């Protein structure tokens, strides 16, 4: 661990950073998720990560001045008694636990999960506040008892959860944040300030130009919290553990600061609960000024004990995935035995279902992969392959017998032929009993007639449905939202016009000739991008992955989606392998 942290510190750059690549160079996979490779949401993913890192750094900086008197604030980290240099406090560690709680199935379950995580992590938590100590049965000083249930701890650890919800999704944000806050803090003020702080993070992530003061006022009015407007605090007082006092200080500093470092210094000069105010105000400033926040130029940033927040990569994935629906990819995983025209042979993982699931998951999308594995040696390799990917959840039961295995000869033009060695067993794969939610996307990347029941399950759950081209000739398929397939499948009596009577949208791919999107409103023609073709095996998988990722974010497919799909396909055919390469 220490050597990895040292590597991380050596990668710190003394300049402003805003791109995914630069941020990944700073943090590495140690802190920054490999899955944050979206070709659409690069800036948003970078902003989420920077806000979390700015929060942790502000915590580490502020803790050296917390509730002290007679000090001069300097932009450096110093040794303090009984505390490691650059170490973060409970502010950051409890925030990470609160984020992990978002992975629970419901707001109520998230609150319970937070308490479980809190108890599990007690040995590594430093500087716990009175309410949190009381929640787990630890002793509380008599002078702190009046703060139990009404300290700033709930707001401190739930504010960043706002980034997990779109600014328009107030209902869900309030439900989740309130339940996780109430797990330890039941007072109205503690919960209300948590909701206001989370709204600030939700809005500023999407709209850096938003007025911080106005956003807070609108949320306070919306939740009926009148104290926000009627109670004022002396601006010269040190910041107390009172959640409203803390919130107003954070808003004032975030509103007046132009850089993260400026916010840190202002918070610590104010005094009192300096780590909480420094962390929250610095993180908000990083969102307000995404290209000029100056965070990565702070001279002491490499002294922060980043090893203490090694779960940040999974926390960042949770935040991003929570903002969007999940995609259920139903299809095969297979083993490819490939032979190129020059005599080169390659053994590699493949299968349309797995290829799409892995590529899509590399964008940060929450992917659930529904397939199966066999009981042979190739299945063991494929199981490891899937588990090493960014796929969020695998539903791959063992079905006795070999896994699907194909031979793929590739000619001098990069065109391939698929020869089945061991057929798949998709007829034994089902969605029955799986926890789909309304608004999720369910993609049957290869259609089989036994999926008719599963299509109905998805539709009853309120999911957006995507089916492969073979569904066109299956008379049992009465309707689906999207049909995506090759031009070769539209022949004889089957026409685009007829397809649109059963499928709301149709996408037809034509290899090097491009692709066309059809709807009742008209069509969009997308030319194929020029590429040096090496292997066309994963071209269609890349095309579908791009469309699905775009659909997750924008809830529609349009000309931009088709262009994105064409670019990803071109990248894929330009390299050996069936799995589409990461876009970023």
Residue 403 confidence (pLDDT): 93
- Annotate 34-63 with three-state secondary structure: CCCCCCCCHHHHHHHHHHHHHHHHHHHHHH
Residue, of 424 and 150, whose pLDDT is higher: 424
CB contact set of 141 (below 8 Å; sequence gap of 6+): 130
Residue 459 burial by CB count (10 A; 0-12/13-18/19+): exposed, middle or buried?
middle
At 162-188, the pLDDT tens digits run: 999 999 999 999 999 999 999 999 999
* 504: pLDDT strictly greater than 50: yes
- In sequence order, the β-bridge partners of residue 464 are 441
Which pLDDT tens digit goes with each residue over 284-297? 999 999 999 999 89
pLDDT band for 535, please (50, 70, 90 cuts): low
Phi, psi of 398 (to 5 degrees): -85, 125
Domains of the chain: 2-322 (1.10.4080.10), 327-573 (3.40.1190.20)
Give kind and range of the element (H or E) at residue 406: strand 404-410
State percent of the chain over pLDDT 90: 67
How far apart are the C-alpha atoms of 279 and 246, rounded to whole Å? 12
C-alpha distances (whole Å) from 366 to each of 67, 71, 293, 421 are 42, 47, 29, 32
Looking at residue 8, what is its pLDDT? 35
Give the pLDDT confidence score for residue 20 in this predicted structure: 60
DSSP string, 297-351: G-TTGGGS-GGGGTTHHHHHHHHHHHTS--EEEE---EEEEEEETTS-EEEEEE-
Average pLDDT over residues 72-85: 91
pLDDT top residue among 493 and 92: 92
pLDDT band at 573 (very low <50, low <70, confident <90, very high): confident
Of all residues in the chain, the percent with pLDDT exceeding 70 is 91
Q: Which parts of 461-582 fold into alpha helices (H)?
A: 496-499, 539-554, 559-573
Q: Give the SS3 label for residue 525.
A: strand
Query: Which of 581, 352, 378, 383 has the alpha carbon at shortest distance from 484?
Result: 352
The pair of structure tokens assigned to 414 is 């990069």
Cα distance between residue 453 and residue 359, in whole Å = 27
The three-state secondary structure class of 177 is helix
**Mean pLDDT, the chain, whole residue set:** 89
Among left, alpha and beta (phi > 0; psi -120 to 50; other), residue 86 is: left
pTM, full prediction: 0.88
Query: pLDDT tens, 144-166?
Result: 666 677 889 999 999 999 999 99
Question: What are the pLDDT digits (tens) for 9-37?
Answer: 333 333 344 456 666 666 655 677 888 88
Confirm if 580 and 541 have CB atoms less than 8 A apart.
yes
């Amino acid at each position: 661990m220490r050597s990895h942290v040292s590597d991380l510190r050596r990668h710190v750059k003394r300049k402003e950073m805003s791109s995914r690549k630069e941020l990944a160079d700073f943090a590495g996979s140690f802190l920054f998720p490999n899955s944050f490779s979206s070709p659409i949401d690069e800036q948003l993913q970078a902003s989420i990560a920077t806000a979390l890192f700015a929060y942790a750094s502000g915590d580490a900086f502020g803790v050296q001045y917390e509730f002290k008197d007679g000090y001069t604030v300097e932009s450096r980290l110093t040794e303090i008694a009984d505390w490691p240099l650059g170490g973060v406090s409970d502010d950051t560690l409890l925030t990470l636990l609160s984020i992990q709680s978002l992975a629970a199935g419901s707001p109520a379950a998230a609150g319970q999960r937070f308490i479980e995580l809190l108890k599990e992590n007690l040995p590594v938590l430093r500087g716990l506040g009175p309410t949190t100590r009381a929640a787990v049965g630890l002793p509380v000083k008599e002078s702190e008892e009046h703060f139990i249930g009404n300290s700033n701890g709930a707001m401190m650890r739930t504010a960043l959860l706002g980034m997990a919800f779109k600014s328009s999704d107030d209902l869900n944000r309030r439900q989740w944040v309130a339940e996780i806050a109430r797990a330890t803090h039941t007072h109205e003020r503690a919960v209300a300030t948590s909701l206001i702080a989370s709204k600030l993070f939700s809005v500023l992530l999407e709209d850096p130009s938003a007025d911080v003061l106005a956003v807070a006022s609108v949320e306070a009015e919306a939740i009926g919290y009148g104290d926000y407007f009627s109670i004022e605090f002396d601006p010269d007082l040190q910041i107390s553990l009172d959640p409203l006092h803390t919130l107003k200080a954070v808003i004032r500093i975030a509103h007046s600061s132009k850089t993260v470092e400026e916010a840190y210094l202002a918070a610590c000069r104010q005094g009192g609960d300096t780590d909480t105010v420094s962390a929250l105000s610095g993180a908000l400033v990083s969102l307000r000024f995404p290209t000029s926040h100056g965070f990565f130029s702070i001279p002491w940033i490499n002294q922060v004990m980043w090893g203490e927040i090694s779960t940040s990569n999974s926390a960042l994935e949770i935040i991003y995935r929570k903002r969007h629906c999940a995609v259920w990819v139903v299809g095969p995983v297979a083993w490819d035995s490939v032979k190129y025209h020059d005599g080169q042979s390659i053994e590699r993982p493949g299968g349309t279902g797995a290829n799409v699931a892995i590529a899509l998951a590399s964008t940060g999308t929450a992917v659930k992969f529904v397939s199966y594995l066999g009981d042979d040696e190739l299945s063991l390799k494929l199981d490891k392959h899937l588990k090493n990917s960014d796929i969020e959840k695998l539903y791959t039961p063992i079905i006795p017998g070999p896994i699907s295995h194909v031979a793929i000869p590739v000619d001098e033009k990069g065109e391939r032929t698929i020869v089945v060695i061991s057929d798949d067993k998709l007829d034994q794969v089902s969605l029955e009993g799986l926890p789909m939610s309304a608004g999720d996307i369910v993609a049957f990347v290869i259609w089989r007639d036994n999926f008719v029941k599963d299509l109905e399950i998805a539709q009853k759950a309120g999911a957006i449905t995507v089916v492969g081209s073979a569904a066109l000739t299956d008379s049992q398929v009465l309707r689906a939202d999207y049909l995506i397939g090759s031009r070769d499948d539209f022949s004889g009596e089957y026409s685009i016009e007829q397809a649109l009577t059963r499928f709301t949208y149709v996408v037809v791919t034509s290899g090097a000739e491009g692709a066309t999107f059809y709807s009742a409103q008209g069509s969009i023609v997308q030319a194929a991008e020029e590429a040096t073709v090496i292997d066309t095996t994963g071209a269609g998988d890349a095309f579908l992955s791009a469309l699905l990722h775009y659909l997750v974010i924008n809830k529609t497919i349009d000309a931009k989606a088709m262009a994105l799909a064409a670019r990803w396909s071109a990248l894929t055919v330009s390299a050996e392998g069936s799995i589409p390469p990461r876009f970023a």
